[in-house]
Amino acid sequence: MAGGGELKLLGTWASPWACRVRIALHLKALSYDYVEEDLDNKSDLLLTSNPVHKKVPVLIHNGKPISESLVIVQYIDEAFASNGRSLLPSDPRERAIARFWAAYIDDKITASWKQAFSAKTEEERLEGTKQLLVAVETLEGGLRVCSKGKPFFGGDSVGYLDVVLGGLLPWLQGTEALCGVEILDAARTPLLSAWAERFGALDAAGVLPDVGGLVEFAKVRRAQQAAAAAAAAAKN
Ligand SMILES: N[C@@H](CCC(=O)N[C@@H](CS)C(=O)NCC(=O)O)C(=O)O
């Protein structure tokens, strides 16, 4: 392994954030031990490795943990710079632009997706979906700027933003099924729609979970949350 050392990833199969890390590790051709966490019963290793947030993913490199998916993907790019192509652009301004859109994806796309997805009422679901569609249309502009007419955010090959959005892709596709709305729509966001097709065809996309499995998982989680809310309401 160029860059050297032992890598261990703490994740869950359905976590879009852990998927980002798995995509980056795949692109850099790095082998690693994968530990599937039970988030209802977090391991001591997770709690001691990420004491601030207690969340996955955590990448442990030579016994030293790194948390937060965006930080981890950048770390992998820097620590294993000689493994394949760089994910972040080499030009400082282009690197800053890539980081800007990564923050946009986490702030706007993720926030509205979560709202659409975990809405308790039809009204909340519609509002979340509306905001998600607006955010995705804005991101279409980000793809236009970053790709400069090439296939990926990273240009001719997959880069940092492709990894950042790619981890979310099965969830966005699953949300289409769950909320009955086209999110990456060929008419409204043609660049993102074509990007999703291209990204889904990459070898690296093999690390992503199956959309049907995610939809089933999401339905079970929703039912559990609804039951817990009903039980809490009955107590009061
Ligand atoms: N901002 C974090 C988000 C990580 C996150 O939300 N992880 C979830 C799993 S998808 C988690 O570990 N949740 C456990 C908890 O909230 O207790 C990242 O990018 O890594």
| Separation CA 206–CA 125 (nearest Å) | 30
Nearest CA to ligand 1 atom 11: 55
Would you state the pLDDT for residue 223? 85
**Residue 205 clears pLDDT 80, i.e. is over it:** yes
pLDDT, mean of residues 8-26: 98
CA of 57 to the centre of ligand 1 (A): 7
**Residue 180 clears pLDDT 90, i.e. is over it:** no
- Tell me, what CATH number does 30's domain have? 3.40.30.10
How confident is residue 228, by pLDDT bands cut at 50, 70 and 90? confident
Q: What is the mean pLDDT of the chain?
A: 94
Tens of pLDDT, residue by residue over 122-158, are 898 889 999 999 999 999 999 999 999 999 999 999 9
From 10, 12, 15, 208, give the residue whose CB has the most ligand 1 atoms within 8 Å, as the site to mutate.
Answer: 15
Evaluate whether residue 116 is within a structural domain: yes
**Residue 215 clears pLDDT 70, i.e. is over it:** yes
CA of 187 to the centre of ligand 1 (A): 33
The Cα-based distances of 34 to 9, 94, 140, 174, 233 in angstroms read 5, 32, 33, 24, 39
For the chain, what is the domain count? 2
Evaluate whether residue 220 is within a structural domain: no
Nearest CA to ligand 1 atom 12: 55
Evaluate whether residue 110 is within a structural domain: yes
How confident is residue 2, by pLDDT bands cut at 50, 70 and 90? very low
Return the SS3 of 88. coil
Q: Indicate if ligand 1 lies below 6 Å from the C-beta of 15.
A: yes
CB 113 within 8 A of CB 168: yes
Domain residue limits at 65: 7-79
